[in-house]
Amino acid sequence: MRSRSNSGVRLDGYARLVHQTILCHQNPVTGLLPASYDQKDAWVRDNVYSILAVWGLGLAYRKNADRDEDKAKAYELEQSVVKLMRGLLHCMIRQVDKVESFKYSQSTKDSLHAKYNTKTCATVVGDDQWGHLQLDATSVYLLFLAQMTASEVKAALEALDELDLFGVKGGPQSVIHVLADEVQHCQGRYGCCRFLRDGYKTPKEDPNRLYYEPAELKLFENIECEWPLFWTYFILDGVFSGNAEQVQEYREALEAVLIKGKNGVPLLPELYSVPPDKVDEEYQNPHTVDRVPMGKLPH
């Protein structure tokens, strides 16, 4: 009997983690993933990012298949990806009239919704009851849809044939400018904040408001929540750029903020927030207060 290779054993370990943290929550009918145990809605952005782990593992199984069993696992994982991407596409197809209307109105009421019912693919809130205009979520869906199609994940996605997300007719207004030191401004002890003066999940946030006026954002300065997820991006960046020192730095930082879950599985919290009774202290001495994990676990 042929023994299992080291790579095969490692892939099996990753497969168990993926099933325990992601696929066990996938709806068997729509393929969508709920935001958490408490929030049952399916967010477009969260679903795409979550299923990327499954897609990557499926590709790894296909490339390193030792046995027929590995090929079967690759197929199973890839079909889970197909089911989710089809589910999101079904959600958007049901709002196809909005796509046409948005071309002319540019109104937030005509934008595709940012979240849907996990079980039915239906909308869950009104057009003006949420900040639905999240072009990054729709864009990341289209981007990975095209990449998955190119990687031979078949999902009846021929509608994206000859898709060019960037185009050749872009002008100055379509160019993205990145400040080299921007990361340093967002870096913290537990991760990076999404952007400066981000009030999401802070003790000063008003959960009943969708937006804040620019002058009000001063309230959140120095108490922005920090997201460990961004450190995983630095690890991947270091891997692909061959920067072993960067990989080690952020790997050690990430291990310090992980939380042990069931059966000792390390889980990544959604974010770390300043405790309500420590806000004034953090205002005066930024990045000194010990923060507490909040949000979804795992994220």
67-108 per-position pLDDT tens digit: 778 888 999 999 999 999 999 999 988 888 887 887 787 777
Q: Are residues 139 and 203 in the same domain?
A: no
Q: What is the pLDDT of residue 160?
A: 45
Tokens of 104: 């002319």
> Residue 6 domain-assigned?
no
Q: Are residues 29 and 128 in the same domain?
A: yes
Contact between 32 and 84 (Cβ < 8 Å) = yes
Tokens of 240: 């692909």
Range of the domain at 196: 177-298
> Residue 20 domain-assigned?
yes
Q: Are residues 68 and 114 in the same domain?
A: yes
> Residue 276 domain-assigned?
yes
Q: What is the pLDDT of residue 132?
A: 67
Contact between 79 and 132 (Cβ < 8 Å) = no
pTM of the model: 0.69
Of 143, 164, 185, which closes a domain?
164
SS3 117: strand
pLDDT tens digits in sequence order for the chain, 299 residues long = 455 677 788 899 999 999 988 999 999 999 999 988 888 899 999 999 999 999 999 999 988 877 778 888 999 999 999 999 999 999 988 888 887 887 787 777 878 888 899 999 998 888 777 776 777 788 888 888 888 877 765 443 444 444 444 444 555 554 445 555 567 788 999 999 988 899 989 999 888 887 778 888 889 999 999 999 999 989 988 998 899 999 999 999 999 999 988 778 888 999 999 999 999 999 999 999 999 999 887 65
CA distance 123 to 126: 8
Give residue for tokens 């197809």. 93
Dihedral over Cα of 115, 119, 121, 127: its sign? negative
Q: How does DSSP classify residue 266?
A: E
Task: Convert 192-214 to b/e letters by CB count within 10 Å (16 or more is b).
Answer: bbeeebbbbbbeebeeeeeeeee
Contact between 258 and 268 (Cβ < 8 Å) = yes
> Residue 170 domain-assigned?
no
Q: Are residues 190 and 146 in the same domain?
A: no
Q: Are residues 159 and 42 in the same domain?
A: yes
> Residue 172 domain-assigned?
no
Q: Are residues 137 and 94 in the same domain?
A: yes
Q: Are residues 53 and 139 in the same domain?
A: yes
Count of residues making up the chain: 299
Q: What is the pLDDT of residue 162?
A: 46
Q: What is the pLDDT of residue 57?
A: 93
Q: Are residues 149 and 210 in the same domain?
A: no
Number of domains in the chain: 2
Q: What is the pLDDT of residue 189?
A: 93
Of 164, 194, 214, which closes a domain?
164
Q: Are residues 60 and 136 in the same domain?
A: yes
Q: Are residues 32 and 67 in the same domain?
A: yes
Q: Are residues 210 and 125 in the same domain?
A: no
**Residue 234: its H or E element:** helix 229-241
> Residue 263 domain-assigned?
yes
Of 111, 137, 164, which closes a domain?
164
> Residue 287 domain-assigned?
yes
Task: Convert 15-52 to b/e letters by CB count within 10 Å (16 or more is b).
Answer: beebebbbbeebbeebbbbbbbeeeebbbbbbbbbbbe
Q: How does DSSP classify residue 225?
A: -
Cα-atom radius of gyration of the chain, to the nearest Å?
21
Q: What is the pLDDT of residue 172?
A: 53
Q: What is the pLDDT of residue 152?
A: 64
Separation in Å, CA 7 to CA 76, 181, 198, 265: 19, 38, 42, 20
> Residue 1 domain-assigned?
no
Q: What is the pLDDT of residue 180?
A: 53
In terms of DSSP bridges, do strands 271-273 and 292-294 run parallel, antiparallel, or are they unpaired?
Answer: antiparallel
Exposed/middle/buried for residue 245 (C-beta within 10 Å: 0-12, 13-18, 19+): exposed
Exposed/middle/buried for residue 137 (C-beta within 10 Å: 0-12, 13-18, 19+): buried
Q: Are residues 158 and 285 in the same domain?
A: no
